[in-house]
Amino acid sequence: MSLSPETPVLISEVGPRDGLQSVKSTMATADKCRWIDALVAAGVREIEVASFVPPALLPQMADAAEVVRHALRHSGITVMALVPNRRGAENALKAGVHKLTMPVSASTAHSLANVRKTPQQMVEEVRAIAQLRDAIAPGVKLEAGISTAFGCTLQGEVAEDDVIRLAASCIEAGADESGLSDTVGYANPAQVRRLFRRLRAEIGVHAGAAHMHNTRGLGLANCLAAWDEGVRTFDSSLGGLGGCPYAPGASGNVVTEDLVFMFEAMGVRTGIDLERLFAARAPLMAGLPGEPVYGMAPEAGLPKGFAQAR
């Protein structure tokens, strides 16, 4: 697939799942639905709306099936859900999601803490879920995101060879895509360029999204570095919510509002209306009163005379 600077980017909003999983208070289902409605109204085309995990482990996601059903009322969007295992995948497919995402950590320590399986065991979980998907819902996409691809607070350094080998194994096991996640905010732009270049050389069109965290202030710089290497799908979270509860020190995702502004200011089309995106913060804040939200662009406003890419 040929990618030029004029190729539009896909902003994949992960706030309703990744953003909420690390928030202590539980957002009401009705508030989640209003938030999703506002994101769709802004032009967001892909939303990770929930994770299918035991409610005892993550009460915030106890309403996953209901939220998925609501999101499916909207046409023209991809409704995604995270699934850590076959049971979660069964429930997500039953709910009708368009895409499954799986967390496959390159760090053994993080993988054991997060899903209680080694990276190699998670590859076999990918295989089992791919077979399940093929049997009952062959149109559903499966993405295996490589967590802690740039380092881990539990393990420390993560070998780049291990990351690339793991991504290739996930594709061989039946995943449609495999992207790279900076779960704990360790990445720098040079590292991002190097690793995504290797990923694209290894798995080609199966190379997936860049999922960056802004823990150390390099989120946007790392997204731009990934874009330079041909990445055209980026995960982000409205208001910068998010972080992995099983990775100490992992703070928020890249702010969707700032990411969209950066690309639109560069003349790269996102299909998202910035003013409406800023307005989508209102239902988020109403549903999580007192929870801090972040973002430079919505605070400063759009520059005088600013026009979005068309």
Tokens of 244: 């992995």
Q: Which residue matches tokens 């360790």?
A: 186
223 tagged catalytic: no
**Domain boundaries in the chain?**
10-300
Superfamily designation of domain 10-300? Aldolase class I (3.20.20.70)
Residue 113 and residue 119 in contact, taking contact as beta carbons nearer than 8 Å:
no
The predicted structure's pLDDT at residue 1 = 43
pLDDT per residue as tens, the chain (310 positions): 445 556 899 999 999 999 998 888 899 999 999 999 999 999 999 999 999 999 988 999 999 999 999 999 999 999 999 999 999 999 999 999 999 999 999 999 999 988 899 999 999 999 999 999 999 999 999 999 999 999 999 999 999 999 999 999 999 999 999 999 999 999 999 999 999 999 999 999 999 999 999 999 999 999 999 999 999 999 999 999 986 655 555 568 999 999 999 999 999 999 999 999 999 999 999 999 999 999 999 999 999 999 887 7
**Where would I find the beta strands (DSSP E) of 14-166?**
46-51, 78-82, 99-105, 141-147
In terms of Cα–Cα distance, which of 66, 68, 69, 71 is closest to 82?
A: 68
Exposure b/e, 222-235, CB count within 10 A at least 16 = b:
bbbbbbebebbbbb
pLDDT of residue 251: 64
> Token match 């009401």: residue?
28
Position 4 scores a pLDDT of 59
pTM as predicted: 0.95
How many CB atoms neighbour CB 96 within 10 A? 15
120/124 Cα distance (integer angstroms): 7
User: Among residues 152, 170, 223, 244, which one is catalytic?
Assistant: 244
